[in-house]
Amino acid sequence: MPLHDWTDRPGWEGVHHLWITELLRWIKPRLPEPYRAFIGSAPLLAIGGPPERPDIGVRRWSSDPQSEPLSGAVSGLAPPVQIEPDVELAVATFDPVTSLFVERHGRLISVVEVISPRNKDRPVSRNSYLARYLSYLMDGVHVVLIDVHRRPLSFSFADGIAGELQITQPPLPAPSAVSYRVGEPAAAGGRMLAIWRRPFGIGQPLPTIPLPLTEELSVLVELEPTYQAAAADAYLT
């Protein structure tokens, strides 16, 4: 099924959920042992970490009522004072982002994100998600970004990452996909970064893009059949 024009088309949330699920179904059986793929919410702070004792002390108070402090006050101290704020109002927050993660022995290896309009609808959103994708790369995590939304016309995460990393390359506007493989340390400092850029065409089949696992190992992700399955389940024509 050719790529739809998502500029003003409704129903993206359902397609996003279905597409990330189809990508998991494609990638999971193609991973070698001991790699594991799963869907979760970003940002992901830890994967499979062993449970540890908290580094705080917990004091068990005596059951003797005479040894307990008075309600609402700490013994020997004045009761707390409530200071009213100058202003209190509702502000927009970021919704949890559903991503596809690949891990190995509890370590995050790769991330696949299908970009939604809310990831880039405001400057604060663009800055926040751009920082997240850059932090993955700085931590040695391979990243695949898939973006079928053309707006805003003057922005793409691929171009934002290139600018932050001072990489000279032609613009890659959405709709498009880009894959990053973090490699070995570079002779001049830092690390090697391999990039695959795949522009999309409205009404055209989607291409294949690699999902890196190591410098030598990757999974070829067929975007067309996974999108086709998601669009069919969402009853898109």
If DSSP states are collapsed to H, E and C, what string results for 93-148?
CCCCEEEEEEEECCEEEEEEEECCHHHCCCHHHHHHHHHHHHHHHHCCCEEEEEEC
Q: What is the mean pLDDT of the chain?
A: 86
Which CATH fold topology does 12-44+91-233 show? tt1808, chain A (3.90.1570)
Q: Is the pLDDT of residue 216 over 80?
A: yes
Please report, rounded to a whole number, the percentage of residues in the chain having pLDDT higher than 70.
81
pLDDT digits (tens, 9 = 90+) for 192-211: 999 999 999 999 999 999 99
Task: Tell me the pTM.
Answer: 0.80
User: What is the tens place of the pLDDT at every residue in 22-75?
Assistant: 999 999 999 999 999 999 987 544 344 333 333 333 334 444 545 444 444 455
Q: Give the model's pLDDT for residue 91.
A: 61
